[in-house]
Every structure is written in C-alpha cells, then in structure tokens.
Structure 1
Amino acid sequence: MSNSELAAALPARIGVLGGGRMGAGIAHAFLVKGADVLVVERDEQSAEAARERVESAAAKSIERGVTDANLDEMASRLTVGVDYDAFKDRQLVVEAVPEDWDLKVSSLRGIEERLEPDAYLASNTSSLSVNGLAKELQRPANFLGLHFFNPVPASTLIEVVLGEQTSADLAGEARRWVAALGKTAVVVNDAPGFASSRLGVAIALEAMRMVEEGVASADDIDNAMVLGYKHPTGPLRTTDIVGLDVRLGIAEYLQSTLGDRFAPPQILRDKVARGELGRKTGKGFFDWS
C-alpha cells in the first residue's frame, strides 16, 4: 500500500486507557500517523503526566525526522482526561492498564459499555488470555489483543492475538493497522503467553537461574545472547526494561497454565520484594542509576 493508503487504514479516532510508559507509547504511535487520540487516566495528575509523556515522545519524533508534522499540530490532536464517557465516539480503544486480571476486566467492561456497537476494543495484555477476557464482554467479536512492545516508538513488532470469537473482519483490520503504524504484525491464536512472552520469559527465567547458581554474571549472560545469537538486548537487561514485577506476574501466570517449567526463581521474587524492579526504580539485574 502507498503511504496515503496506509494512513487511511487507521481509524481516525483512537482511545487509549492508561497513560503510563506503554499507554503513552501507544498513543504516540497513532498520533504520529495522523489519528485523533484520547488518553484516559485514573486522575488529573496522572492524565497530565500522560500528556507530558506523549508530547515528549512526539517532540523526539520530530527531532529524528520520523514525522514532518509540527508539535502544535500533533498536540491539537491529543486529548487527555479522566472520564470513560469520552470514549463514546472512538472507533478503536486500546486498553493499557497493568497486568492484573480484575483490573483488565473492569476496565474493558467500562470501555465497552460506552462504545458504539461497531467500534473495536483491544487489550495490550502481554500474557493474559484473550479468550478469557472476551468472555467477560458483550461483543467478543469486536475484541482482540494488540500487544505492543516497549519502547513502542523504537519497536517494529506488534503481536496481534486472535480470540476464538474475534471476527475475521477485525483480524484483517488489525493487520492493516499494524502496517499503517509502520510496524510488523505477528499473528497468533490465543494461548498462554502468546508467542513473544512465552519464549521471552522462558529465556529470561533460565538466565536468572544461571545468575542465581553462579554460572556467570548478568553482563556475561546477556553478552552471550547479544554476541552469540544476535539478540539486540540480553534477556536480563530486557527484564530490567520491562520491569521485574511485570516479568514475575507473567511467570506466575504461565506457571499456573503451563506448569512448573515457568516457576519464577527465588532471585526474581527476592528482587521484587526489595523493590528492585529494574530501570523504573534504578536497580534490577543492572544498576540504572
């Protein structure tokens, strides 16, 4: 497709629930491609912080020459707020709240009840069952997983996760959306951990066990994967970027669904208990201070 065709493939009005690192990145991805973007947060302070994240990312995109739009023009297409009712005119809403089942369900229900019947709803979950979430909704045919990767602006991958009831029309639309965002779609049917989290967490957990057992340092283990297998970032540094608490939650879920091969090692539990969550706290398997 041409650039104009790609742009036309995106819904004009996008909603994002959650304006943290991931939500802001998702909002930025659509904003750069010309969409009108609404970000809803839990309170006014969080909403303003989300605005700052998105606008900062937009400014960096301009500096890098990713877009020829100016910051004022992009800012005019960005709205932040705290009211779910603002989602009522959105054609697509992406939920990007933390990986907590009850929070995901309540958030998705709250969005869906405000959307028009033909609007689409997506979850940015990295591991939770899309089929399970769909069962909590009134229109499961209009729901799927859109798993963006951190950091969203630099990542070229989006995992499109199809539920059993996801419509064929939505599956096709999602592929076009990903292409229009300048990224590549990996399409998977719903399964625990999908493709990316299941493989990524398996490697990361084994790397943690190797540190725990004194096989090698975190640096050397990561360098082995970067230099030997051409991974852009080693599994332990990636864990620090994602967040040790996030990786622990995914591992516990995969253990409950796929068995003890995904059991979190004690070193991971200990670091999370100490608040060593990775880059966001300044320390994880590496020192980020």
Structure 2
Amino acid sequence: MHELDDVDAVGVIGAGTMGGGIAQVAATAGYEVVVRDVETEYLDRGLERIDSSLDRLADRGSLEEDPAAVRERIATTTDLDELADVDLTIEAVIEDLDVKRDVFADLDGIVGPDVPMATNTSTLSVTAIASATDRPASVVGLHFMNPVPIMEGVEVVRGERTGADVLEFAHAFAEDLGKTTWESADKPGFVTNRILMPWINEGIRAYDEGVASKEDIDAGMRLGTNVPMGPLELADRIGLDVVLAASETLREELGDRYTPAYLLKRKVEAGDLGRKSGRGFYEYERDER
C-alpha cells in the first residue's frame, strides 16, 4: 500500500514553470523537495521564479510561513541519482513522449521499489510513459494547472496499469497540497485539454478572421460565460508553443477537429510565445508570471 504518511521527501524532475511550481507547493505543504534538472542554470532560474512567487504570496498574506522557511526545504541537483531516497517522484519535463519515457526508465532503476512515480503530462499517454518502467502499476498522472501555486485543481489520470492504491494515493497527495482533484481515464487530452484546446483555437480563429478584436473576444468570453480569462489571454498564460504542441498531439490522436489555428502556428514561428517571451497576442514585461 502507498500511504501519504510514508512521504517525507518529494523528487521533482524539471525546474521549469511547472516543475518549479510543483516544488513550491510541495515545500509549502511541509515536504522536503529535491528538484533535478540537466543544467545548473535551469535550476537557478527555477529557484528565482520560486523566490518571486513566494514573496508575492507573502505580500498578499497568502503564505503562513516566512518564504525563507519554505525555500529551505527545496534542494536542487543535476544528478538524477540524488533522488534515490525520495518517497514520491513527479516528472515535469518537456512534453515529449520519448524524453519522458527516458526519464522514467532511468528513475525505475534509482528510486525504491514502492515509490509512486507521477507524470505531469497534459496530453501524452500515461500508459505509454509507464511502459518504460518495470512497475507500470506505480505510475500515475498528476496534471497540475498553471500557475501551480495559484490554481486549485489537479487532474489525476489513471493509466491502464495504474494500481488502485496508487490512484488513491495521488488524490490524497494533491489534496494535502491544498488542491481539489478530479479523475480522468488515460484518453488523449484527458478532461481539461481535450475540451480546452478546441476552445482556445476557435478563439484564435475568430480573431484571425476578424470576428472581433482580441480584447472583445476575451471580454465576450469572460463576461458571457463567467470564465476568469478569455481564450487569447489564456493562450498567452499557458504559452503559445505549449498550446500548439498540445493541439498537434490531440490532432494526431483524435482527428482534424483539433487542427491548430493558422495564426497560432505563425505566432510560434515568430517566437511570440505569450507571457514568457514578452509577446503573444498581447505584450508583457518579459518573464512576467
């Protein structure tokens, strides 16, 4: 059995926006965290984002501890072997199946035999990722939403071989981080992106075809459907390259209704990736979070 009480240390693979956010919320919840990435500069950049996020939360009165106390629970490394003693791993590397499978194959020979292994994939098959290991029953999807410290929800994805105890553990762990969970079968895009990507792409098409200004498209969806962001705002928040990659994955799996909008492709080709690049459908201060 996988029990929440047995978890003291969490290993996070990937120090990008998602990995850093996951590390932050785990450390905030009291867990010791080891973040691994392939380059020291990626780790340093990730820690800078965590520091800025913690400071903002403290300024708003949303952090119960001093930011420094949370940061002390986060260690970094470029050596995957240093995750040998963690009690849970959460992979948050680039959304590429081969890369993720390589990470899981390596982890399989490093972490303990009873350690649950989670992937933060947003569209890829948890079953395909798990098949790179000798323990697919221990592999589960934990799809956090961006920005992780702010967003309440976590999507728990059951692979074809995910054990019932691991699935129950995944819900319990996310809830211990203060999140609310829902569960999806291992189908392309799961619940969230299966529905979200066509919505974003249709918003982009409406803008490209002159239906309305980008501001009015976003305002219409916010005010007309009570969502917090319109499709173009949300695309910029997620990252246009991420939206494009997710849409292309879904098109390969589910057909032409997931074809990415033409303007989305052009934006990505131009390097206009949204908030992280300083320009997407709107303009931002670079690396604004």
TM-score range, shorter chain: over 0.9
**Is structure 2 residue 283 aligned with structure 1 residue 249?**
no
Contact 1:40 1:47 in 2 (8 A): yes
Query: CA-atom RMSD, angstroms?
Result: 1.4
Contact 1:212 1:267 in 2 (8 A): yes
Contact 2:37 2:78 in 1 (8 A): yes
Q: 1:287 aligns with which of 249, 268, 283?
A: 283
Contact 2:6 2:87 in 1 (8 A): no
**C-alpha separation in 2, matches of 1:137 and 1:16:** 17
**Is structure 2 residue 198 aligned with structure 1 residue 211?**
no
Shift of 1:88: 0.4
Contact 2:104 2:130 in 1 (8 A): no
**Is structure 2 residue 174 aligned with structure 1 residue 178?**
yes
Instruction: Tell me which amino acid in the other structure corresponds to 2:37.
Output: E
Residues 1:72 and 1:265: Cα distance change in structure 2 (over 3 Å): closer
**Is structure 2 residue 220 aligned with structure 1 residue 228?**
no
Shift of 1:45: 1.7
Contact 1:9 1:180 in 2 (8 A): no
Deviations 1:220-269 (A, max 9, x none): 11111100000011111111111111111111111010000001121111
Shifted more, 150-159 versus 207-216: the winner is: 207-216
Contact 1:32 1:58 in 2 (8 A): no
Task: Give the corresponding residue for 1:117.
Answer: 113
Task: Give the corresponding residue for 1:76.
Answer: 72
**C-alpha separation in 1, matches of 2:46 and 2:94:** 15
Describe how 1:8-157 pairs up with structure 2 within 5 A: 11-157=7-153
Q: Scaled by the length of structure 2, what TM-score is found?
A: 0.94
**C-alpha separation in 1, matches of 2:237 and 2:263:** 17
| Equivalent position SS for 1:288 | coil
| Equivalent position SS for 2:49 | helix
Deviations 1:92-138 (A, max 9, x none): 11111111121111122222221100001111111001111112221
Residue segments in structure 2 that go unaligned for 5+ positions in a row: none
**Is structure 2 residue 190 aligned with structure 1 residue 194?**
yes
Residues 1:179 and 1:9: Cα distance change in structure 2 (over 3 Å): farther
Deviations 1:136-178 (A, max 9, x none): 2211100011000111111000000111111000111111112
| Equivalent position SS for 2:84 | helix
**C-alpha separation in 1, matches of 2:198 and 2:74:** 38
Shift of 1:57: 2.5
**C-alpha separation in 2, matches of 1:263 and 1:179:** 35
Task: Give the corresponding residue for 1:3.
Answer: none
| Equivalent position SS for 1:273 | helix
Shift of 1:9: 5.1
Deviations 1:33-68 (A, max 9, x none): 100001011112222222222233233333333333
Count of residue correspondences: 282
Contact 1:17 1:97 in 2 (8 A): yes
**C-alpha separation in 2, matches of 1:77 and 1:98:** 24
| Equivalent position SS for 1:89 | coil
Deviations 1:3-45 (A, max 9, x none): xxxxx65821001011111111000010001000010111122
Instruction: Tell me which amino acid in the other structure corresponds to 1:205.
Output: N
**C-alpha separation in 1, matches of 2:265 and 2:66:** 45
Instruction: Tell me which amino acid in the other structure corresponds to 2:255.
Output: G
Residue segments in structure 1 that go unaligned for 5+ positions in a row: 1-7
Among the aligned pairs, what percent are the same residue?
39
Shift of 1:196: 0.3
Instruction: Tell me which amino acid in the other structure corresponds to 1:129.
Output: S
Contact 2:123 2:189 in 1 (8 A): yes
